[in-house]
Amino acid sequence: NFIGVEVTHARAARLLHTLMLHAMRFAAAVASLCTVNALHVHASVIRTHAKSSRSTSAAMVGNQADGTPLVGLPPANVLAPGGYTKQIPDLLAQEEALQMVKTTFEDALKKNVNLVRVSNPMFLNSKGGFNDNLNGVERPASFSPRDYKDTTLEVPFSLAKWKRWALHHYDVPAGKGIVTNFNGLRCDDDVDFTHSLYIDQFDWEKVITREDRTVEYLQQTVKGVYAAVTVTEQAVSKKFGIKPLLPEQITFISSDEMIEMYPDATPKERENLVAKEHGAVFIMGIGGFDGPTPADGKTLRHDGRAPDYDDWTTQRPDGGYGINGDLMVWNPLLGMAFELSSMGIRVDKDVLVKQLDIMGCPERADNLWHRLLLDGTLPLSIGGGVGP
């Protein structure tokens, strides 16, 4: 079909399956350096839950004897003997808890945000513009099927843009949306105790009206997503006897406010400061630059965001820009902020053109996906990913 998501040749399917198995095993090897309590990471546990190894942990602690931390490893106090005790020691019970996290969260998310589960593609045609471009420099895992040498298929980074097409495909009405359990690969992602090459997350998207493109609607939706997180924490805590950690309510703050509060801190340091203070925060206004174009040498506004899904240029009532953001919680075990979700109100056709120009890639408007948005085929929407 026109987005290249249906590949029927068995060899192509086996090739991707083998590739994903290798990625999962590599992710498990990295994650085995430190198993983190499932409740500390909630929907992101998929990336860090592999088996713990005493010999590996002992070797890592030894490597840090001089006080120098090794890149990609958890804090030394976590790795040290007695630094972390598994809340669920039994490996099969861990798997049961992980599955409970996923099913409980998905059910609550569907209820709170009014979503229906759908299937999703394993491949996307590289020429359609349906793949998430992330920051524009990451390499997708790709291949050409034996019988279609002129076609390049990519394993998606995320389903940020495909989901909006799916809303059109399923003819979803305003106020309703879709959710899917997405698995993907990121060849150039950081590989450490919170990141992997393998992605396992929930991707969701919801049709909205023009009147819904507001900060109020964004915050209302964020509260629904966060409520699904806390319901999941309570359910798993009750079943496995683990003390819950998250606050009942989430705090909203903008990246502009954070700069005013901590002008000399880096974006990551600001995240740590506000997450530690509030326990759970939604940081609004992420993406773009504080100058007209990247060529001006201006500073990235908190963090990178692709120009063709989240709206990071619309001005908010508080004077800041961007009706999108990141949901973060404080992880006391690791002593750091932990991102659970990136989400936002999506670009309309005018914002798309503006953000493509800001990022210096107006040629993307010629891609199939972008043409569908510009001609009004794709609906207005809000969406995000929950997990990695």
Give CA–CA dist 134/132, Å, rounded.
6
Q: Which string of b and e fits 355-368 if b means at least 16 CB within 10 Å?
A: bbebbeeeebbebe
* Active-site position among 107, 303, 339, 357: 339
Q: Comparing C-alpha atoms, which of 271, 375, 279 is closest to residue 326? A: 271
172 vs 180: CA distance, rounded Å: 15
Instruction: Give me the count of residues in the chain.
Output: 388
The enclosing H or E element of 375 equals: none
Looking at residue 300, its pLDDT comes to 59
Select which of 326, 346, 355, 381 is catalytic: 326
Give the tokens for residue 243: 């003390």
Please state, in angstroms and rounded to a whole number, the distance separating the CA atoms of residues 104 and 109: 9
- The reported pLDDT for the residue numbered 55 is 31
Catalytic residue among 106, 132, 203, 205: 132
Enumerate residues 6+ apart whose C-beta is below 8 A from 226: 250, 280, 282, 327
The Cα diameter of the chain in Å comes to 61
pLDDT for 301: 64
**What pLDDT is stored for residue 160 in this prediction?**
86
pLDDT at 299: 57
- Domains within the chain, CATH numbers bracketed: 87-386 (3.30.930.10)
Q: Which residues pair with 383 in a beta bridge?
A: 205, 344
**3-class SS letters over 259-317:** HHHCCCCCHHHHHHHHHHHHCEEEEECCCCECCCCHHHCCCECCCCCCCCCECCCCECC
Annotated catalytic residue within 158, 255, 342, 381 = 342
Answer yes or no: are the C-beta atoms of 198 and 20 closer than 8 Å.
Answer: yes
Q: Is 186 a catalytic residue?
A: yes
- What tens-digit pLDDT sequence spans the chain (388 residues)? 333 433 333 333 444 444 344 333 333 333 332 323 333 333 333 233 333 333 333 333 333 445 555 567 788 888 888 888 888 889 999 999 999 999 999 999 999 999 999 999 998 888 888 887 776 678 888 889 999 899 999 988 889 889 999 999 999 999 999 999 998 888 888 788 888 888 889 999 999 999 999 999 999 999 999 999 999 999 999 998 889 999 999 999 999 899 999 999 999 999 999 999 999 999 999 987 655 455 554 555 677 788 898 999 999 999 989 999 999 999 998 899 999 999 999 999 999 999 999 888 899 999 999 999 999 999 999 999 998 5
Question: pTM value?
Answer: 0.79
Give the pLDDT score at 342: 93
The DSSP letter of residue 385 is: E
What the block records as the tokens of 211 is 């009147």
Distance in Å from the first CA to the final CA of the chain:
29
Write the DSSP symbol of residue 115: E
Specify whether 201 is catalytic: yes
- 62's CB contacts (< 8 A; 6+ apart) are none
Report the candidate in 156, 153, 154, 152 with the shortest Cα–Cα distance to residue 183.
156
Q: Is residue 342 among the annotated active site residues? A: yes
Taking alpha carbons only, the member of 106, 128, 112 closest to residue 4 is: 128
Q: Which of 158, 196, 201, 254 is catalytic?
A: 201
Does the annotation count 264 as an active-site position? no
Q: Is 82 left (phi over 0), alpha (psi -120 to 50) or beta?
A: left
- Which of 198, 162, 195, 194 minimizes the C-alpha distance to 180? 162
The catalytically annotated residue of 47, 164, 186, 346 is 186
State yes or no: is 277 an active-site residue: no
Give the tokens for residue 186: 């990121």
Q: Active-site residue 326, yes or no?
A: yes
pLDDT at 190: 78
